[in-house]
Amino acid sequence: MEGFKALGLSYKNAPIEIREKVAFSEQEAVQFLLNLKDMFDIEEALLISTCNRTELYYTSGQRQQEEIIQLISSFKSIPSDKLSGFTETYDSASASKHLFRVALGLESQVLGDIQISNQVKRAYQQSADLNLAGPHLHRLMHTIFYANKRVVQETSLQDGTASVASVAVDLIGGFIRNIEQPRVALVGLGEIGQNVLENLSSDEATITLVNRTKSKADKLAIEKNIKVSDFNSLDQVIADNDVIISAITCTDPIISADNLGQGSIHKLLIDLSVPRSMNTDLENVPGVSLYNVDQLTERTLKAREVREKAIPNAERIVEEEFINFSKWKSEMEVSPTIQKLKNALDQIRREELARHKKLSNEEMELLEVVTKSMIQKVIKLPVLQLKAACKRGEADTLVGVLNDLFNLEAAEVEKK
């Protein structure tokens, strides 16, 4: 784990004005990872970019945090000094453990947010597709997925309506309660938009979907028996609906006070996009209630109380699975020594058998079986002792002893 590192920023230390500047779309993430792979000696890399955080996890033998921050700054056209004060870094075991906590929702703005697990899975798939997931990352991610399964089954960390999407729907329910024939428009049908849609009830309001790719909206509309409007008709959609939820990917706001037109306005606007898709000038329009992703956390207090009680059990699971991962990692680090020892002993075995050329084929086959069995028994205890030393943190000492006793490094060079 010595070469595993992480850097990034989150809602804990960076305001939305900074986070939205370093948010990566899926296409941007692919290009950035390819640039990272080309420019640095990076063996593994995982980029997580959500509305609450942008974090890069990578495996490298060198400390390259400053250079990578420079690359992010260049890629996103942001002065590096604007990022450096908000960036946190993690090394070795702390980087792996931080990824555990992020993926399980322990570091989420909405504690136990179920969306983060899917977002991490997609980031991992992206890394695998780009050949940026090696043995360490593969094992780490699968251990994290198993830990998440345990958290779901053994704790209440993800109970209650506390995701950004469910909180938004709760807010909508309170707003439309006293509106006759309420109308709700959902702009953007990415993961967050679809999560909102899954929680919206067409029995309570008329729902209209708006998406840049209209075919995607059409398909979902047929499944849900709801309306679809063209993206080009966004102004009319805003005028016609009481609630507008925007979960669209964009670089600049697409909805502002100018889109509302004239006259009396009573609307709820919910901006789930990062970067934000709704201009802050909407806050000054009488009758308009505007919420962004940071403000929605005020609606999570009850669910958070339940989830906070589950934190000790969730952290216990993290610790148990992290220890299991660390044991595997330690054994992986000594596995080359084990293989060298096996090769060295087998070389001795084969050299001795080669001295007995007068033996018949039947006798040679019998000796082959017997000597291989002897080697297996001879090596069993050193291997067990080496694995036990890994658990005690004393593997380096025993590896050194075995190298000296059997001259393993020289034997390996001679073999090659």
Catalytically active residues are 51
- Give dist(CA 228, CA 181) in Å, integer: 17
Cβ atoms < 10 Å from Cβ of 58: 26
Taking each helix axis as running N to C, give the angle between helix 26-39 and helix 65-76, from 0 to 180 degrees, rounded to the nearest 10. Answer: 140
**DSSP type of residue 87:** -
- Give dist(CA 199, CA 247) in Å, integer: 14
The helix (run of H) or strand (run of E) holding residue 141 is: helix 135-154
- Give dist(CA 381, CA 362) in Å, integer: 31
Structure tokens at 400: 């050194």
Cβ atoms < 10 Å from Cβ of 213: 10
Cβ atoms < 10 Å from Cβ of 91: 16
Do 69 and 84 meet the contact criterion of CB atoms below 8 Å apart? yes
- Give dist(CA 188, CA 304) in Å, integer: 27
Report in angstroms the alpha-carbon separations of 205 from 75, 194, 227: 42, 17, 11
